[in-house]
């Protein structure tokens, strides 16, 4: 990357709209409600052949009783420290506010390159109104309309002047995407903060704190991948606010675009119907799966508790039971590094390829020993098997009468493949095709 650009300002000035405009699609949630963005949201942008990261922040607020506001303030300061260029967004529909002055004071002390941006300037009259912001003493005011894109070209011309030059800018390698998913308040953001060793994501006891899916690059201990924190998934009947609906949709889309899903279960509540729904969603999308039983430090246990809990989970998730289950505590950091090691193992299992020669040599012998049952006096003869060239494990068995193969026999073959090869945590799909 060539640098980092942070968008800061008071609530409801259009930071997320500008963020979406810069990254080229609706990644951050935008709503008329003030204070929608709570975490730092990261995206990528490119201008004049130069790539850079963009950070969207929550609106800066002072002297508020809201439990989120102190955390949002901390996130804004962290984003400012990370950035090479700061876009200070103000709203042309109104005069300079106390909050604008408070942000200006922080930016003066920051010593980073600050570009003052007046948003919602959608006609010539508004350009005149924007001149009032010269009083802030931050230099030229760039007039834009984030919603229509007007003026953003000139703004980006200015931004790229101040980004660091990277002589050896390589194409980005496709990194494994590991999504942390689960019900609200299962501890997803706490786990991410523990893994990163910093308070990157806002954590409160209130369910539903995380609203966007947040991507974070993890590069420690010889591991290199993207971690994705998602909004908690609730039952459809409990999704009342528009915002929460978009959050759930964003989390579902994140599952669909990830490689591995770390499904977090609250140990104090046990595995519930919504946990199973999330698991089936990941399984349907052929994602690698690791089950994390969080808050294990809060459970009274003896030497049989883990086995009993594991048995209950496997009974509920059957027939797909070949999934790693790890008992963790995100707060005390119990076994959190094992989580990453297991996730990478499952990622490698998902990419495992078996040669056609090897498959036929082993599987045809197993099939000969226990062939599919006859149907209406007709015998199914399987002649050939191969692994299909898909991003996840799919196997095609070629036979004379594919329509007569029962689901139970497919499961038998899947179990044999799992016994022979390491596909732990990965759904295996089997097709029967006409020879």
Residue 231: is its pLDDT beyond 80?
no
Residue 72 binned pLDDT confidence (cut-offs 50, 70, 90):
low
Q: Do 59 and 8 meet the contact criterion of CB atoms below 8 Å apart?
A: no
pLDDT at 369: 94
Share of the chain above pLDDT 90, in %: 37
DSSP element (H, E) containing 231: none
| Res 28: pLDDT | 45
Band of the pLDDT at 423, cuts 50, 70, 90? Answer: very high
Tens digits of per-residue pLDDT, 154-212?
Answer: 999 999 998 877 544 443 457 889 988 887 778 887 888 888 775 544 444 444 444 34
For residue 77, what is the enclosing H or E element? helix 67-82
- Res. 68 pLDDT band, cuts 50 70 90: very low
31 or 162, which is more confident?
162
391, pLDDT greater than 70: yes
What residues contact residue 201 under an 8 Å CB cut-off, 6+ apart? Answer: 39, 189, 192, 193, 210, 214, 229
Please tell me the distance from the alpha carbon of residue 163 to that of residue 115, in angstroms, as a whole number.
Answer: 13
pLDDT value at position 291? 97
pLDDT tops 70 at residue 330 = yes
8 A C-beta contact, residue 225 and residue 262:
no
- DSSP helix/strand/coil, 55: strand
Confidence at residue 234, expressed as pLDDT on a 0 to 100 scale: 47
CA 324 from centroid of its chain's CA atoms = 20
Q: Can you list the alpha helix ranges (DSSP code H) found in 318-391? A: 336-351, 356-369
Looking at per-residue pLDDT, the higher value among 126 and 414 belongs to 414
Cis peptide leading into residue 319 (ω within 30°): yes
DSSP code string of 268-313: TT-S-HHHHHHHHHHHHTT-EEEEEEE-GGGS---TTHHHHHHHHH
For the chain, what is the mean pLDDT?
A: 80
**Which one, of 11, 104, 105, 3, lies nearest residue 47 by Cα?**
3
The string of pLDDT tens digits covering residues 238-278 is 444 443 333 444 556 677 778 999 999 999 999 988 788 88
> Among 209, 9, 219, 193, which Cα is nearest to 118's?
9
Cβ proximity of 18 and 144 under 8 Å:
yes
Q: Taking 70 as the threshold, does the pLDDT of residue 381 lie above it?
A: yes
pLDDT at site 144 = 92
Lowest mean pLDDT among 108-122, 156-170, 397-411: 156-170
Q: What is the pLDDT of residue 428?
A: 96
| 27-36, 54-63, 251-260, 345-354: range with highest mean pLDDT | 345-354
Q: Which of 219-233, 263-277, 365-379, 398-412 has the lowest mean pLDDT?
A: 219-233
Is residue 343 predicted with pLDDT exceeding 90? yes
């Amino acid at each position: 990357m060539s640098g980092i650009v942070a968008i800061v300002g008071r609530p409801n000035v259009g930071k997320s709209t500008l963020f979406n405009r810069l990254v080229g699609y609706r990644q951050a949630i935008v709503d008329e409600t003030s204070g929608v963005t709570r975490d730092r949201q990261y995206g990528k942008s490119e201008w004049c052949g130069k790539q850079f990261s963009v950070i969207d922040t929550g609106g800066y607020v002072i002297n508020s009783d809201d439990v989120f506001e102190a955390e949002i303030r901390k996130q804004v300061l962290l984003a400012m420290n990370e950035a090479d260029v700061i876009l200070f967004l103000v709203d042309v529909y109104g005069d300079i506010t106390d909050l604008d002055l408070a942000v200006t004071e922080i930016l003066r002390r920051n010593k980073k390159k600050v570009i003052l941006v007046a948003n919602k300037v959608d006609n010539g009259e508004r350009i005149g109104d924007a001149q009032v912001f010269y009083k802030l003493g931050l230099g030229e005011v760039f007039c834009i309309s984030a919603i229509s894109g007007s003026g953003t070209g000139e703004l980006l011309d200015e931004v790229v002047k101040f980004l660091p030059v990277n002589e050896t800018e390589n194409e980005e390698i496709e990194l494994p995407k590991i999504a942390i998913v689960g019900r609200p308040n299962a501890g997803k953001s706490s786990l991410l903060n523990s893994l990163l060793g910093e308070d990157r994501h806002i954590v409160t006891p209130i369910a539903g704190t995380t609203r966007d899916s947040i991507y974070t690059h993890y590069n420690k201990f010889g591991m290199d991948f993207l971690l994705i924190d998602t909004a908690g998934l609730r039952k459809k009947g409990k999704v009342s606010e528009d915002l929460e609906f978009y959050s759930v949709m964003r989390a579902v889309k994140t599952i669909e675009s990830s490689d591995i899903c770390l499904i977090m279960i609250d140990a104090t509540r046990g595995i519930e119907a919504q946990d199973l729904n999330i698991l089936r969603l990941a399984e349907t999308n052929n994602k690698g799966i690791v089950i994390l039983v969080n808050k294990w430090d809060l459970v009274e246990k003896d030497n049989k508790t883990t086995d009993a809990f594991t048995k209950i989970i496997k009974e509920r998730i059957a027939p797909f039971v070949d999934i790693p289950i790890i008992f963790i505590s995100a707060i005390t950091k119990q076994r959190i590094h094992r989580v990453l090691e297991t996730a990478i193992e499952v990622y490698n299992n998902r990419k495992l390829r078996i040669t056609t020669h090897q498959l036929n040599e082993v599987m045809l012998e197993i099939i000969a020993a226990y062939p599919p049952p006859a149907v209406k006096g007709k015998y199914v003869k399987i002649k050939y098997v191969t692994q299909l060239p898909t991003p996840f494990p799919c196997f095609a068995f070629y036979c004379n009468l594919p329509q007569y193969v029962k689901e139970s026999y497919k499961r038998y073959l899947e179990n044999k493949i799992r016994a022979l090869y390491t596909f732990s945590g990965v759904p295996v799909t089997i097709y029967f095709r006409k020879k």
